Structure 1
Amino acid sequence: MPHINLPAGLPGIRSLFTFRPETAVPLNFLAQTLLHNPHPTLSAGERELIATYVSSLNDCKYCATIHGAIAKHQLNKDGQTVKAVVADMETSPVSDKLKALLRIAAKVQIGGKSVTETDVELAHQEGATDLEVHDTVLIAAAFCMYNRYVDGLATFQPDDEELYDQMGAQRAREGYHSGPLKLTKTEPVEAQ
């Protein structure tokens, strides 16, 4: 049960965005910029994997599940790679460059000062650019904030994987500026 009176039927951060639209605008803009807008070198799927990985490290069920679903759809419906990254990033079937970036993201999740020059140099050795390192750190830091926002107010987090898949497909198609899927127990899920 949420700690504050949030709109019923809206899961996770979507309920918080509806509760406080003034803060939703910049938070959605940040997510859109970091995860969905075109990037010179990191695919939307790779950026969503970073968000998923950090959210799983933070044990934020809603964010890890929804961003995992978005990543799946951004990666040509490859849910196995998403599951592999969350289960054991080091043995997952992603590039060595992405693994180096995910290691940096994990350090940010612990605390920003945990990232070392060695971590960045190892990412550079795997082909990561300064822009990719920058964006990885920013995605990881932003998702620590998003995760704490969602969990700190005990938002509704459904257990139905199909619902997350539907929401993930919508976000992958439309980005972060479109309206939420409204979830109700008596009606089918529809885009709003």
Structure 2
Amino acid sequence: MSWIKVVDYENADSRLKKIYDRVKGPNNNIDNVLSIHSLRPHSLVGHMALYKNVLHNSNNELPKWYLEAIGVYVSHLNQCDYCVQHHFEGFKRLLNDEEKAQNFMETIKNDELETFFDEKHLAGMGYAKQLTLEHHTITKEDIVHLKSQGFSDGEILEINQVASYFNYVNRTVVGLGVNTEGDILGLSPNDSDDPNNWNHN
């Protein structure tokens, strides 16, 4: 499951189990990306607060399918197969169109995003790519370009935060050898109106 020790649900002490109870899925399943924090439960709390508010908060204005698409794309760029698998399942569920979802994945693999996105949304994906692979090249003009495509400042912040979150979690997963063994792919905390509800279903 990973290259460092992980405490599972059954062996968690009371403090960790209390946190696990907030994030668990069916049959007390804890995603490996979350249980990797088990030796430092406070970092799991920080991870979940960031994740829930960046990706699953009703105050976001960009469509959730688009935010998930950014997550899948950034994870692909970072060669984080774990996050690609998990979040592609979430993307498919939100899109509710299997063929279109598979087309999206092919455009990512072939670096042909322009065949899937309109000009506006393509610009947002381009910014996410630049933030991931060449963040040091970003200038004010890149933000001005996003505004010219119709993104508000708040929406640009959403793209920035989702891309930044996935860069963080990709490095957590890849850097500690986390894999999907035992995971239920695609579970997420979908009660977007309650930022404190972390339950995965």
Distance 1:38 1:174 in 2: 9
- 1:121-177 deviation per Cα after TM superposition (whole angstroms, max 9, x unaligned): 22222111111112212211221111011111111234xxxx87x531x32745771
Over aligned residues, Cα RMSD in angstroms?
2.6
1:98 aligns with 2:121: yes
Partner of 2:185: helix, strand, or coil? Answer: helix
Distance 2:148 2:129 in 1: 18
Q: 1:17-56, aligned counterparts within 5 Å? A: 17-56=37-76
State the identity %: 25
Partner of 1:136: helix, strand, or coil? Answer: helix
TM-score, with normalisation over the residues of structure 2?
0.74
Distance 2:172 2:60 in 1: 29
Q: Report if aligned partners of 1:52, 1:63 keep a CA contact under 8 Å in 2.
A: yes
The one of 52, 59, 74 equivalent to 2:94 is: 74
1:5 aligns with 2:5: yes
Q: Report if aligned partners of 2:54, 2:165 keep a CA contact under 8 Å in 1.
A: no
Rate the CA distance shift 1:157–1:101 in 2: closer, same or farther, 3 A.
Answer: same
Q: Report if aligned partners of 1:11, 1:155 keep a CA contact under 8 Å in 2.
A: no
Unaligned stretches of 5+ residues in structure 2: 9-28
Q: Report if aligned partners of 2:68, 2:88 keep a CA contact under 8 Å in 1.
A: yes
Q: 1:97-176, aligned counterparts within 5 Å? A: 97-158=120-181, 167-168=185-186, 170-171=187-188, 173=190
- 1:53-88 deviation per Cα after TM superposition (whole angstroms, max 9, x unaligned): 111000001011111111111222442254144223
**How many residues were matched structurally?**
174
Unaligned stretches of 5+ residues in structure 1: 180-190
Q: Report if aligned partners of 1:66, 1:167 keep a CA contact under 8 Å in 2.
A: yes
Distance 2:117 2:138 in 1: 21
Q: Which has the higher Rg, Structure 1 or Structure 2?
A: 2
Amino acid paired to 1:3: W
